[in-house]
């Protein structure tokens, strides 16, 4: 009796696996090249479309190809880089006639990531702590192909993706210890000078002078490209 039940379970499982897979758990093998360690889950919603979700941890210093100089403004000294969240949501339309989440696909996407860094900056013999934060929300579309090997293993390559990202940056200057009655307006021309060579960013700077800090807001749009790949397990 036990043997026949086990055989029935094995046959049911084999029958299930012989049909098209509806789910994939995947890990990016290209994200870490940019300091983004992320994992994803894809689920079919009907015969030829699916939802793909990615979540990860972003820290540029984890990348073997990105150095501090590439994201440190002139006059600043990097003190600390803090990793942030990366996330993406895609709705995929598969062009294959196969009843499975494989083949060529077109996918609109939305993505989000943030990043915190701490710099130091010297102005008139005073050393300021400069805390920066950037939150980014982007939308776009991509074109790719997903293979399923032996009905279990997957290779997902998105060859080309293009969109636009909205970046919301904050740059906060503080002095420690705080001098009584210090006028933080002296920081404004210095921050302007840091970005003066990038006119698109320079004209978007918004300065806020407080009693205990100088904060500069920097909202801007920028086009983006997206490409990469992941491997996974289908079930």
pLDDT tens track for 91-150: 999 998 777 899 999 999 999 999 999 999 999 999 999 999 999 999 999 999 999 999
32, containing H or E segment: none
What pLDDT score does 12 carry? 46
What pLDDT score does 97 carry? 78
What percent of the chain shows pLDDT beyond 70? 91
What pLDDT score does 31 carry? 95
CA–CA distance, 109 with 95 (Å, rounded to integer): 17
Kindly provide the residue ranges of all beta strands, DSSP E only, lying in 63-125, ordered along the sequence: 76-82, 84-94, 103-123
Which residues lie closer than 8 Å to 178 by C-beta, 6 or more apart?
212
Nearest to 211 by CA among 188, 167, 168, 180: 180
Instruction: Report pTM.
Output: 0.85
175: tokens are 């002095």
Count other Cβ atoms within 10 Å, centred on residue 23.
14
What pLDDT score does 19 carry? 52
70, containing H or E segment: helix 68-71
List of the chain residues with pLDDT < 70: 1-20
201 φ/ψ angles, rounded to the nearest 5 degrees: -80, -40
């Amino acid at each position: 009796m036990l043997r026949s039940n086990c055989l029935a379970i094995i046959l049911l499982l084999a029958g299930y696996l012989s049909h098209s897979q509806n789910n994939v758990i995947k890990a990016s093998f290209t994200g870490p090249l940019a300091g983004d360690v992320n994992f994803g889950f894809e689920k079919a919603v009907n015969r030829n479309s699916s939802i793909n979700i990615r979540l990860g941890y972003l820290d540029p210093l984890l990348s073997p190809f990105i150095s501090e100089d590439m994201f440190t403004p002139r006059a600043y000294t990097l003190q600390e880089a803090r990793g942030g969240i990366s996330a993406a949501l895609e709705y995929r339309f598969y062009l294959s006639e196969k009843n499975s989440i494989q083949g060529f696909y077109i996918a609109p996407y939305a993505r989000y990531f943030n990043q915190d860094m701490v710099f130091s900056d010297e102005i008139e013999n005073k050393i300021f702590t400069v805390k920066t934060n950037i939150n980014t929300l982007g939308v776009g579309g991509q074109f790719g192909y997903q293979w399923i090997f032996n009905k279990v293993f997957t290779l997902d390559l998105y060859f080309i993706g293009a969109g636009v990202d909205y970046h919301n940056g904050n740059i906060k200057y503080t002095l420690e210890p705080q001098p009584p009655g210090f006028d933080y307006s002296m920081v404004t021309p210095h921050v302007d000078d840091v970005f003066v060579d990038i006119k698109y960013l320079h004209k978007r700077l918004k300065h806020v002078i407080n009693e205990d800090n100088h904060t500069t807001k920097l909202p801007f749009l920028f086009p983006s490209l997206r490409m990469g790949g992941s491997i996974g397990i289908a079930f």
